Structure 1
Amino acid sequence: MSALLTDPRYQAGIALFNQRQFYACHDVFEALWHEAIEPDRTFLQGVLQIAVGLHHLSNSNRRGATILLGEGCARLQDYQPDYATVDVSHLLAQSRQVLQALQGLPSEDCGEAIAIGLGLRAGTAPSLPCPQLCLQTSGV
C-alpha cells in the first residue's frame, strides 16, 4: 500500500488539482515528493509535471505546457490503470488529449484557445475535458 494514502496532504493535493488550482497543488505535491520513496516518488513527479504543465497553459506558456505534459504522461505510463486511488489511465487519456491539441497548433499559437476551452482562462471556445485526478472506488 502506498504511504500517500495515509497522508492528509495527498488528499489536499488531489482536491487542489481538481479545483484547477495547479500552482497550489504543485506546492503540496512537491512537499510530498521530497519526502517520498519509490514508487510513490515517481508517481508524484508525474502528477506534478501534469499540474505544472496545465499551470503553464493557463499562462499561455505553450512550450512549457507541452514539455511538462509530455514528461508527466511518460512518467505515469507504468502506473496504469490506477495507483494510490487515482485512475491513472483516465488522467493520461485526458492529459494526452490536451497535449495532442497543443502539438497540433501552428508554432506561433500560444494555446490560449485550448486554455479557454479547458476552463483555465476566461472566454468561450470549443470545450476539452480538463484533466482530473479521478478516484478509484474499488480495487485499491
Structure 2
Amino acid sequence: MNPNLQKPGEKYIQGEWQQDSVPAQKRLVAYSLYTLKFSCDSFFVKISSYSKVNYGADTCMNSGHWAEYIRGTYSQKQDTLHLKGQFCNADGSYKDEKGCFRSGDYEEFFKVKHPADSVIQFLSTSNVIPINAHLIKRTSCVPKPL
C-alpha cells in the first residue's frame, strides 16, 4: 500500500539552497549552478548552465545560458543523498521529450557534507565539480496528501 501523506524527509535539508559559483568558473568552457528546494521528502532543482561554446540551436542555448528543471523525491542513507525524479518545466509540469535538452528520468547520488547550519556541500558520484550551496530560506516539513 502506498502512504497517503508525504514522508517528513531530513530536517537539516528543508528549505532553499543556492550555489553562487564553482571553482575556477572563469576558466571553464561550461559550468552549471544549482538552486535546490527541499520540502518534506520532495525536491525541485533548477540547473542554470553557462557555455562559451554553442553546442546546439541558439533557440535552446539562448546565447550560452539556459536552465533545466527537475522534480522528484529524495532519500538519505548515512551520508549519501539519492535524488530520483523527472526533468520538468519551470512550473513543475511535464516536459515534452521534443523540447530542448534533457527529458525523462533523473537519478543522482550525492555524498553530503554539512559543515555549518547554513552551508551544505553535495559531491556528485558522476561529476567532479562539487555543489557548494548556502541556505536562502529555511522551511519546515508540513506533509501534504498524496
> TM-score normalised by the shorter chain: which range applies?
under 0.3
- Which structure has greater strand proportion? 2
Report the TM-score, using the length of structure 1 for normalisation: 0.24
- Which structure has greater helix proportion? 1
Larger Rg: 2
Report the TM-score, using the length of structure 2 for normalisation: 0.23
